[in-house]
Structure 1
Amino acid sequence: MYFCGVFDGHGPSGHKVSRRVRDQLPAKLSTVYHHIKITGRSQSDVDAFCDDVDDSNSETREPNSRSVRDADDPVADLVFYRWKSSLLRAFREVDQELSLDSSIESYCSGSTAVTIVKQGDYLIISNLGDSRAVMCSRGEIGQVIAVQLTVDLKPSLGKEAERIRRCKGRVFSLGAEAHVLRLWLPDEDSPGLAMTRAFGDFCLKSYGLISVPQIFCRKLVEEDEFVVLATDGIWDVLTNFEVVKIVLSARKRPSAAKLLAVHAIRAWKSRYPSSKIDDIAVVILFLKPPPLEKSLSDISHVTPDSLSHLNSSISQYTRRSISSIDANDVCDVRETNKGKSHNGLSELGEGESLVDMTLNFPRYSNARHRSRSMTKDGDF
């Protein structure tokens, strides 16, 4: 069994929020999963399973066609139920504990999360925010296929925006970036969050922002090769297909995440030379043993110049700026601030751009933060 995740912080203390989630979520998920496995289904888990906000949301259903939810496959259904119940509860509890932690300013800071669990032939994907998971698979004649496993949860999705407005939050774009919808408080033009689900950001939790992940389950087949988890700093400048081709071009697997980051950084500098580079974090889970050797055709489009930046013995690339990364965060890559994207699958969120994750922050005091946090129980 494997667990992988990428957590993208935003706001003044976003780096602290994302680290806290990174450190707590795996252990929390493991504890909850084993509890559900031993005790069986509780009524609250069944209610959460049936009433999850995504069940009736056609815009945020699984973007690929091979879902394992099949009445003829009771094993798959049980796997999906256990993990979905566990993920819903783990995400809820981590967010609740974050709201009560006075050592981290999470009132106007938060974090996205995209995670996968691989258990045998099953892949369980959860998504909170605008990071993304993409799988490389092969077609009938061996052609490369990029399969987007998640949906970018942004205010541009009709059902997400409808929930925000129903909770008295506001959704609109600024004149300078008319193509980017953002989430705002009802009585202040802040914080301008470009996503609709996140850990933290408690200033918006009463106005439609939620910490309920979107969860999918997929049964793996022989044609599936690897999964890329990455923050929007990758997807804003590279298409899904470009990403999988870059990973395939890596001479050695330990260098694949760094190679992808190098290409994304270059794309940012080339396409948006006046913009700061967005946060970039990449984790790649390979599903098969490595091939004995790479053919020359696999790496023909990678220039010697790009490969000169790499060291195949290192699987981490870090550039420090306003937020820093621990030296032992394997395959973690970070830069700062937002830019724009290009064409892609608009329904799934590919190609939608972010210019600045948070434009400004709501006025608050420590007392207001504590009072808000202590009243969150009914909102989870």
Structure 2
Amino acid sequence: MGSCFSAESRSPLPGSPLSPPSRKKPGPFGNRKGETLHRIPGRLFLNGSTGVASLYTQQGKKGTNQDAMIVWENFCSRTDTVFCGVFDGHGPYGHRVAKKVRDHLPLKLSAHWEVNISGEDVLREISLNTAGSVNSEETALLSADDGSRASVDFDETEKLPEIFKTLKESFLKAFKVMDRELRLHTNIDCFCSGTTAVTLVKQGPFLVIGHVGDSRAVLATRDKDNSLTAVQLTVDLKPNLPAEAERIRSCKGRVFALHDEPTVTRVWLPNNDAPGLAMARAFGDFCLKDFGLISVPEISYRHLSEEDEFIVLATDGIWDVLSNKEVVDIVASAPARSSAARALVHSAVRAWRYKYSTSKVDDCAVVCLFLDSNSSNLTYASNAKAKVQPTSVDHVDNESEKDDSLGVLTSVDRSGTVRTGKVVPGGNGDSSKSELGTDWSSLDAVSRVDTLLNQPRFVPGK
């Protein structure tokens, strides 16, 4: 959810903050390698289940489903390792950004993990590839080791396991390279489109999570009374967090909420009432990358115990209407683990209709990763073969390479992560006001920001 907005109805002038960057040479996605990824054994991205996980996504009422998900068993050819992720796209091409990141980020993470790169190598490459000034993205990555808020749930006297150190470096590198390639990609316009990501690697009892944006990971575990409790493993990376707001403002970006939605803090360009992004970190959204928005992940570690039962990864279509505890209880009470993700999505849809009866239901995507898959009481899919139930909204994802002419208005209307409509800034001493018209006929091909922003829309709570 969220929204996007510009104070200008005309095309941005070349060189202005709103003008899109000049297109560069074809990026690394031009070879369509993603087509072969769908045939990799153990990799599931459609509605269904495997021996360790349940997946489900459902399109909301706002247009194209911009959520994506993945479970990859035997990750990096390790039989005790699984990769999971959910991705929530936003903007006119957010659905394509989300699926592109879903398909390519795991490969990049695997490659960097395999070569076991060191932190010094990461910093050295950043230095070599930085020409002149260093933007907010590079600064955040350079200081990741010193200033990260990454949580580590173990006794401070315990030495960090080597897998966390290695995967932390690999996550940082993979996220950076992924965002760089999105910038170079000629077939997906990421100037005002992007995606969140919450991803994890579980190897045996070791769990490492890397995430950007407000998609969330929650753990279900037993307390001392054997009651099932919810433990939030990630922090929603929104601009209302003091550290995120400070970084954005230090890069000349603006952070404030609108009068008609005072609880939703957004990111705005220095001199334009756009785009009003409701998150502080994301892949893509290059119109804001010089003004505080970054794709550097928060990275956390947990040593799993016998009390830990499952992990839920989900986009904000779930968390906007259900609490962490409600999510855990719904998954735990599902009739079969193979249907747990579907049951959670259907519960969220019902909650949307009850809580926001006048609003359009958001897209939802869920991955439920079960941690006791060797238990004899499992009633979901066989460990030997995944049960896949393709859906019409996601059965040929890589064909999206050829849909550059996809109607932008549909995507704009469904996007709640970037603000559209009337801008009445508040909370930062800015008393300026502006209102957009909706003259679509006056827009040309380069008016990406204006195209994104000129469709009024309001979503309660966001």
Q: In which range does the TM-score fall when normalised by the shorter chain?
A: 0.7 to 0.9
Q: Distance in 2 between matches of 1:260 and 1:277?
A: 14
Partner of 1:245: 329
Q: Is the 8 A contact 2:252 2:291 kept in 1?
A: yes
Q: 1:227 aligns with which of 290, 311, 336?
A: 311
For structure 2, list consecutive stretches of 5 or more residues without a partner in the other structure. Answer: 1-80, 127-137, 380-385, 399-410, 422-435, 437-442, 450-462
Q: 2:226 aligns with which of 142, 145, 150?
A: 142
1:56 is aligned to 2:158: no
* Superposition deviation, residue 121 in structure 1: 1.0
Q: How does 1:86-165 map to 2 (within 5 A)?
A: 86-165=170-249
1:263 is aligned to 2:347: yes
Answer 1 or 2: which has greater strand percent.
Answer: 2
Q: Give the TM-score taking structure 1 as reference length.
A: 0.76
Letter in 2 for 1:111: T
Q: Is the 8 A contact 1:3 1:118 kept in 2?
A: yes
Q: Is the 8 A contact 1:126 1:213 kept in 2?
A: yes
Letter in 2 for 1:42: E
Q: 1:257 to 1:315 in 2, by over 3 A?
A: farther
Q: 1:368 to 1:273 in 2, by over 3 A?
A: closer
SS at match of 1:180: strand
Higher normalized contact order (CA 8 Å, seq sep 6+, divided by chain length): 2
1:66 is aligned to 2:114: no
SS at match of 2:211: strand
Q: Deviations over 1:343-373 (max 9, x none)?
A: xxxxxxxxxxxx931124999975999xxxx
* Superposition deviation, residue 314 in structure 1: 6.8
Q: 1:234 to 1:326 in 2, by over 3 A?
A: same
* Superposition deviation, residue 289 in structure 1: 2.6
Partner of 1:199: 283
Q: Is the 8 A contact 2:90 2:416 kept in 1?
A: no
Letter in 1 for 2:395: D
SS at match of 1:29: helix
1:281 is aligned to 2:361: no
SS at match of 1:281: strand
Partner of 1:346: none
Q: Is the 8 A contact 1:276 1:338 kept in 2?
A: no
Q: Distance in 2 between matches of 1:272 and 1:237?
A: 9
Q: 2:256 aligns with which of 146, 166, 172?
A: 172
Q: Distance in 1 between matches of 2:388 and 2:308?
A: 22
Q: How does 1:298-317 map to 2 (within 5 A)?
A: none
Q: Deviations over 1:273-326 (max 9, x none)?
A: 10011121100110003765599xxxxxxxxxxxxxxxxx977696x7xxx323
Q: Distance in 1 between matches of 2:413 and 2:333?
A: 27
Q: Deviations over 1:225-261 (max 9, x none)?
A: 0000000110010000000000000111110000000
1:358 is aligned to 2:418: yes
Q: How does 1:76-91 map to 2 (within 5 A)?
A: 76-91=160-175
Q: Distance in 2 between matches of 1:41 and 1:359?
A: 37
1:14 is aligned to 2:94: yes
Letter in 1 for 2:272: E
Q: 1:209 to 1:164 in 2, by over 3 A?
A: same
Q: Is the 8 A contact 2:141 2:296 kept in 1?
A: no
SS at match of 1:94: helix
Q: Is the 8 A contact 1:277 1:338 kept in 2?
A: no
SS at match of 1:221: coil
Q: Distance in 2 between matches of 1:257 and 1:195?
A: 25
Q: How does 1:317-332 map to 2 (within 5 A)?
A: 324-326=393-395
Alignment identity in percent?
Answer: 49
Q: 1:34 aligns with which of 111, 114, 119?
A: 114
Q: Is the 8 A contact 1:135 1:228 kept in 2?
A: yes
Q: Distance in 2 between matches of 1:364 and 1:71?
A: 60
Q: Distance in 2 between matches of 1:217 and 1:61?
A: 8
SS at match of 1:115: strand
* Superposition deviation, residue 102 in structure 1: 1.1
Q: Is the 8 A contact 2:94 2:193 kept in 1?
A: yes
Q: Is the 8 A contact 2:216 2:234 kept in 1?
A: yes
Q: Is the 8 A contact 1:10 1:358 kept in 2?
A: yes
* Superposition deviation, residue 53 in structure 1: 4.1
SS at match of 1:116: strand
Count of aligned positions:
318
SS at match of 2:209: strand
Q: 1:77 to 1:86 in 2, by over 3 A?
A: same
1:187 is aligned to 2:271: yes
1:2 is aligned to 2:62: no
Q: Is the 8 A contact 1:168 1:207 kept in 2?
A: yes
Q: Deviations over 1:70-106 (max 9, x none)?
A: 5543xx4311110000000000001001100110010
Answer 1 or 2: which has greater helix percent.
Answer: 1
Q: Is the 8 A contact 2:190 2:285 kept in 1?
A: yes
Letter in 2 for 1:358: V
* Superposition deviation, residue 43 in structure 1: 4.6
Q: Distance in 2 between matches of 1:25 and 1:158?
A: 28
Q: Is the 8 A contact 2:211 2:297 kept in 1?
A: yes
Q: 1:94 to 1:43 in 2, by over 3 A?
A: closer
* Superposition deviation, residue 52 in structure 1: 3.8
Q: Give the TM-score taking structure 2 as reference length.
A: 0.63
Q: 1:262 to 1:31 in 2, by over 3 A?
A: same
Q: Is the 8 A contact 2:314 2:365 kept in 1?
A: yes
Partner of 1:44: 122
Letter in 2 for 1:136: A
Q: How does 1:206-221 map to 2 (within 5 A)?
A: 206-221=290-305
Q: Distance in 1 between matches of 2:444 and 2:252?
A: 19
Letter in 2 for 1:162: E
Partner of 1:333: none
Q: Is the 8 A contact 1:67 1:218 kept in 2?
A: yes
Q: Is the 8 A contact 2:197 2:282 kept in 1?
A: yes
Q: Distance in 1 between matches of 2:301 and 2:388?
A: 28
